[in-house]
Amino acid sequence: LPFLRAFIADVSFSIPEDEVFLTEDDFRNAELLTSSPTKSSRLLPRQSFLHGDIRGKAAWKLVTFNQIAKLGFSPYSFQKTRRKGARRNGVITGIKKWPNGRVPYMISGQYTERERALLARSFQLLQEYHKRTCIRFVPRTPLDRDYLYIGKIDGCFSDVGRAGGRQELSLDDGCMQYDTAIHELMHSVGFYHEHERWDRDNHIRILWQNIDRDAYDQFGKVDLSESSYYGQVYDYYSIMHYDSLAFSKNGLETMVARRPEMTVVIGSAIDFSPVENYLFINLLKKALVLDCTDKTNLCWRWLDRCGSFFFERIMKEFCALSCGYCIPKSKMTAPVKAAKGASASYLQLG
């Protein structure tokens, strides 16, 4: 009993007074906003992400020294820049998934009534997928030591997945629009940037000469050991893709699509792409609810073996999620075809 009293006392003061949650009034006000996210519904224009919007394991974003040397910079000086960036990004702990897809949250009391309505609307957009997946954002209780805190901290940023403790997601004044809020919430549940895919060079070209030197690490690649494409091809329409002028030092493009018509598409999304919907509904649910995962991040290379008689046993063992072995065949859903080049962002679940 003394231990229980001490435990209750320990958690009873763990919610700061300046942290609140969205109320029924906020969700009612959200219904008064436009019913679907459009450019006209943005409160403020998109801000440029000066320091990038991902906190956490910046070391996973790899820019080779050869690429830097070609630009005439010293690899050693770039290494120092990366170390500085890693300190700024801060979080060192490994990325984890939220238990059972439950994401406890609190928000800052600094948000205005309209901003709270916009946050509520962003939650509602995600709630449509909560009905078909297990991801759900719920007000934090005193027992939740790991939780998402949304506040006006410094620009727009989030960790990827669950980082532990009070996990900050910043939506400052320049970030208060649907697409940015959804983008950061997507990070918080485990999505990386599309343009940081390991295979991105097959789909876009990075124009290093136009990139602000302090932002080189924003154009690295995420290690395949920490992410998976789940068999989806590159998604130019992804809400997780930066635009072609991101981090430009001279107003010129910093990345262009290898399909020229897609350059104007990247970074323009204001809602989930068709295949991001597929990921939410068909992959994320199985990974979290059924605890169905791939045991290797190379499954995207072996998808042609999923239906093979000779490889069926090994594919069921190592690539159950990507191959669709997690659900009864009667309920199996075929992967979404890439319409107009669309596909899926890649996701951290482990």
Confidence band (pLDDT; 50, 70, 90) for 317?
A: confident
Report pLDDT for 5.
52
% of residues, the chain, pLDDT over 70: 59
Q: Name the residue with higher pLDDT: 178 or 106.
A: 106
Mean pLDDT of the chain: 71
184 is annotated as an active-site residue: yes
User: What average pLDDT does this structure show over 100-121?
Assistant: 92
Report pLDDT for 118.
93
Cα(158)–Cα(43) distance, integer angstroms: 20
Radius of gyration, CA atoms only, the chain: 21
Residues 238-261 pLDDT 10s: 988 999 999 999 999 999 999 999
Residue type, 48: S
Confidence band (pLDDT; 50, 70, 90) for 52?
A: low
User: What average pLDDT does this structure show over 92-116?
Assistant: 81
Report pLDDT for 297.
65
Report pLDDT for 15.
62
State yes or no: pLDDT of 346 exceeds 80.
no
Q: Name the residue with higher pLDDT: 142 or 309.
A: 142
From the candidates 19, 115, 168, 184, which is the catalytic residue? 184
Residues 16-45 pLDDT 10s: 768 999 999 999 998 888 644 444 333 333
Q: Name the residue with higher pLDDT: 116 or 301.
A: 116
Going by the annotation, the residues of the binding site for Zn(2+) are: 183, 187, 193
State yes or no: pLDDT of 300 exceeds 90.
no
Q: What CA–CA distances, in Å, run from 48 to 45, 139, 182, 297?
A: 10, 30, 16, 32
Cα(268)–Cα(261) distance, integer angstroms: 13
User: What average pLDDT does this structure show over 284-302?
Assistant: 62
State yes or no: pLDDT of 303 exceeds 50.
yes
Cα angle, residue 95 at apex, residues 93 and 97 outer, rounded to 5°: 135
State yes or no: pLDDT of 50 exceeds 70.
no
Confidence band (pLDDT; 50, 70, 90) for 100?
A: confident
The pTM (predicted TM-score) of the whole model is 0.66
Report pLDDT for 327.
52
Q: Is residue 229 a contact partner of residue 344, using CB atoms and an 8 Å limit?
A: yes
Report pLDDT for 295.
74
Report pLDDT for 308.
81
Report pLDDT for 226.
56
**Judging by DSSP bridges, how do beta strands 136-139 and 102-108 pair with one another?**
parallel
State yes or no: pLDDT of 290 exceeds 70.
no
Q: Name the residue with higher pLDDT: 32 or 100.
A: 32
Structural domains in the chain? 2-47+94-189 (3.40.390.10), 193-350 (3.40.390)
Asked which of 66-70, 100-104, 222-226, 332-336 is least confident by mean pLDDT, the reply is: 332-336
Cα(312)–Cα(333) distance, integer angstroms: 18
Going by the annotation, the residues of the binding site are: 183, 187, 193
State yes or no: pLDDT of 328 exceeds 80.
no
Length of the chain (residues) = 350
Report pLDDT for 313.
81
Query: DSSP per residue over 271-339, as a string?
Result: S--HHHHHIIIIIIHHHHHS----S-TTGGG-GGGTT-TTTHHHHHHH-HHHHTTTS-GGG--PPPP-G
% of residues, the chain, pLDDT over 90: 26
